[in-house]
Amino acid sequence: MFEKLGLPKNLLWGYIGLTIFMIGDGVEQAWISIWLVEKGLSVAQASYLITAYGITVTLAAWVTGVLVQTLGPRKVMFCGLVAFIIGSIGFIGIGLKNMDLVWMLPFYAIRGIGYPLFAYSFLIWINYSTPVARRSTAVGWFWFTFSLGLSVIGPFFSSIALPVLGEIHVLWVGLLFVLIGSILGIWVN
């Protein structure tokens, strides 16, 4: 069944893990900058924070290929997990707790390293392990599961969880999603 859909059976848990990881990364996508302004940051400060995150996402995406070629996909995915954990602890636990941009900025930037190392390493793993005849559909499944987690389920989860849990707890739950997705994507897969 999976082969008919173009989904490599040997990577199924990786795709599921990627979706769950990206849910965790995407929980704040729709609301974080507005909320930060409501909490006292200026629009310029919130924009600067998102820009710093974007810069590290871009740089991490750029170096992922070389890192995977050197270390292998699992190790680089693990490095992405570690960066996301460190960034989340500093950003949520220290920076947001005190609404201190000096702490928020570097830790949100470190958090931004996480998903490109995790996700794009898995994309390279797909390319390494999928026969050429099925590679395009396997990559299509990558982008489907990536987008499903980041842009659909993550923000939708927030729309349900924010009124119940509040912003800080939703961010911590996002970290839990990232941990679960990483376990599935790195070790179960």
In a domain, 105, yes or no: yes
pLDDT digits (tens, 9 = 90+) for 102-157: 999 999 999 999 999 999 999 999 999 999 999 999 999 999 999 999 999 999 99
> Is the confidence at residue 1, as pLDDT, over 80?
no
In a domain, 129, yes or no: yes
Q: Give the mean model confidence (pLDDT) for residues 16-44.
A: 97
Yes or no: say if 130 and 8 are a contact pair by the CB < 8 Å rule. Answer: yes
The three-class DSSP label of residue 93 is helix
Domain hosting 84: range is 13-188
Domain of 177, CATH number, reads 1.20.1250.20
Q: What pLDDT band is residue 41 in, cutting at 50, 70 and 90?
A: very high
In a domain, 4, yes or no: no
* Residue pointed to by tokens 């987008």: 147
- What is the token pair recorded at 121? 């390493």
Q: Any idea what DSSP says for residue 28?
A: T
pLDDT of residue 3: 73
Yes or no: say if 25 and 154 are a contact pair by the CB < 8 Å rule. Answer: yes
pLDDT digits (tens, 9 = 90+) for 57-113: 999 999 999 999 999 999 999 999 999 999 999 999 999 999 999 999 999 999 999
Q: Give the mean model confidence (pLDDT) for residues 7-36.
A: 96
Q: Give the mean model confidence (pLDDT) for residues 26-38.
A: 96
Q: How many domains does the chain have?
A: 1
In a domain, 2, yes or no: no
What count of Cα atoms within 13 Å lies in the side-chain half-sphere of residue 110?
Answer: 19
DSSP H helices, the chain, are 12-26, 32-38, 43-71, 73-88, 97-98, 101-129, 132-147, 154-165, 167-182
In a domain, 3, yes or no: no
- Distance of alpha carbon 146 from its chain centroid, rounded? 9
- Distance of alpha carbon 152 from its chain centroid, rounded? 13
pLDDT of residue 189: 87
pLDDT of residue 93: 98
In a domain, 88, yes or no: yes
Q: What pLDDT band is residue 42 in, cutting at 50, 70 and 90?
A: very high
- Distance of alpha carbon 88 from its chain centroid, rounded? 11
The three-class DSSP label of residue 148 is helix
- In whole angstroms, give the CA distance from residue 26 to residue 152: 8
- What is the token pair recorded at 59? 């740089």
- pTM for this one? 0.95
